[in-house]
Amino acid sequence: MSNLPLNVVILAAGKGTRMHSNLPKVLHEVAGLPMLAHVVECAKQLSADRIVVVHGHGAETVRATIQDTSLHWALQAQQHGTGHAVQQAMPEIMPGGSTLVLFGDVPLIRPETCRALLKKAEKGLALLTVIKHEPKGYGRIVRGFDGHVTAIVEEKDADQEQRAIQEVNSGIMAMPTDLLAGWLSALRNDNAQGEYYLTDIVALAVAQGVRVITEAAEDEWEVAGVNSKIDLSDVERQYQRHAARRLMQQGVTLRDPARFDQRGVMKAGRDVEIDVGCIFEGLVEIGSHVSIGPYCVIRNAKIADGTRIAAYSHIEDAVVGADCRIGPYARLRPGTELSAEAHIGNFVEIKNSKIDHGSKVNHLSYIGDSDVGKQVNVGAGTITCNYDGANKHRTVIGDRAFIGSDSQLVAPVTVEAGATIGAGSTITRDAPAEALTLSRAKQITIAGWKRPLKKKS
């Protein structure tokens, strides 16, 4: 690649009428991120010297959502076509070098494809094309008898013979920046739509003797644009199909790739097994020999080797050590850290707590803002009462402590090492080591008491 400046212009001004939504089209999500964010990330991977986003409809919302200080913004207040959009970007573009034009509603474009296109742009105007068996709605690539590109004709302006052409324009193109500036100033809007088409620069290049070169997209889905919710769902599923395939190539076992969703970055070790319906968001790192049951949601988490996660468990902003057992129906909230061989069972919620080696919280419990030592057993229905209505307080449970079922530990409180808390206790003061601590009302029996009867209507 040349050492000259690389500009990337991303067209993101459209309203997206067919989306039937108040949200600007480019902010609709694919794999958990706005479509525009995917395109910006592609541009960054190209090491672009300047990325200019042309925004228009919902401009304030777009800028508020894509909060990236490295971006330059150009406003297209009135949408008069793609050529007009790039004209608005020109004051922000660095002179010299090359300019690549991308689209904010084409989220699956790959950096590798863009690099190949930019390589060809060193010799002229480079167009990214694709063969579509049903090319309706796309501009057709018109070639002369020698096979060279002579024009791109939009479908609304195409005659019957041109509409039969299956090689279509993706809209993505790259060219020398200085040539682009001249072509944009020469654009006219004498067409069926009364718009300034960026594609008209092809005819201008041909007229000047500038070489027009094409690069074929390897996969049709890579240049798929989104104009409706149906398109959005198709692109989403294609993204997930590609993500699933990549993981399986690395050795991950997916019980059903069609029922897998990755919405971020995922790293996995060897012999990982993932059942159906799981969702992975943000940055997720999974060690080797990990098993994840059906319908789990894992977000921004690290899962160490040998851990087994049972069905319907939710893990967010948490670190899980090796050989842990989690779920089913467990929830690890932000700030949770499990050491090796910890057990978190069904309907257990852990929040902002550290659970040390070999400790078990197996049933129907809430552990929040706590430090739990090694080999602790927490009985069913235990609650750490960490919130006094204004402030959070911590609970400390020492090594080998045993917490009886249905206990409430009212923070701030410490249960020392080896202590036993009798079932049904409410602990408001520190419990000493190696002793039994109880807090129960006196048990009484009331003779002659009868249950109330339901009144007859």
Residues annotated catalytic, as ranges: 363
C-alpha separations of 76 from 51, 60, 83 in Å: 16, 12, 11
Residue 244: which of 214, 208, 216, 280 has the closest Cα?
280
Distance of alpha carbon 28 from alpha carbon 32, whole angstroms: 9
CB 376 within 8 A of CB 403: yes
Other residues' Cβ atoms within 10 Å of the Cβ of residue 267: 12
Residue 97: which of 215, 25, 193, 9 has the closest Cα?
9
Residue 435: which of 423, 449, 421 has the closest Cα?
421
Peptide bond preceding 328 in cis form (omega within 30 of 0) = yes
Distance of alpha carbon 49 from alpha carbon 4, whole angstroms: 9
Distance of alpha carbon 191 from alpha carbon 162, whole angstroms: 16
- What does the block give as tokens for 66? 């894509």
